[in-house]
């Protein structure tokens, strides 16, 4: 499975961006798709995940209500719609997936994911 994240850029605080994560290769996996981010000098942190089996979603508390994860099955693409962006959202954003399902409570753990795409940089200016 290959993942390609795109859609990052520079935006002012309060603005919006939509990130895309396009999958190619063996895309029939039922594993979740997650978005993570890593700011300079900080550890990678969970942002949101979508269970491709149930379509259930999980969000980090810091983005709940502002970010929305969704997918287009026909395009094998998962999106992260980001609204009301804040300077603290500045980071490199990565999408990831795995083979097989995982319990919802584990979807926020980077170690559960087998495949990672290259990141896309999101910069939010104040």
pLDDT beneath 70, residues of the chain: 27-29
pLDDT of the residue at 26: 75
- For 21-56, how does the pLDDT look when each residue is reduced to its tens digit (9 = 90+)? 999 887 666 789 999 999 999 999 999 999 988 999
What is d(CA 42, CA 65) in angstroms, rounded to the nearest whole number? 23
- Whether the CB-CB separation of 28 and 93 falls below 8 Å is answered with no
- Whether the CB-CB separation of 74 and 68 falls below 8 Å is answered with no
pLDDT of the residue at 25: 84
pLDDT of the residue at 24: 87
pLDDT of the residue at 29: 66
What is d(CA 21, CA 32) in angstroms, rounded to the nearest whole number? 13
pLDDT of the residue at 30: 74
What is d(CA 90, CA 97) in angstroms, rounded to the nearest whole number? 22
pLDDT of the residue at 59: 98
């Amino acid at each position: 499975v290959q993942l390609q994240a795109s859609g990052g850029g520079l935006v002012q605080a309060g603005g919006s961006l939509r990130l895309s994560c396009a999958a190619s290769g063996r895309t029939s996996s039922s594993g979740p798709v997650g978005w993570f981010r890593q700011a300079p000098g900080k550890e990678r942190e969970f942002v949101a995940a979508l269970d491709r089996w149930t379509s259930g979603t999980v969000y980090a508390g810091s983005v709940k209500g502002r970010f929305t994860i969704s997918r287009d099955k026909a395009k094998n693409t998962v999106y992260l719609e980001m609204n009301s962006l804040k300077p603290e959202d500045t980071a490199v954003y990565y999408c990831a997936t795995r083979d097989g399902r995982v319990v919802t409570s584990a979807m926020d753990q980077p170690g559960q994911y087998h495949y990672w795409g290259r990141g896309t940089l999101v910069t939010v200016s104040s």
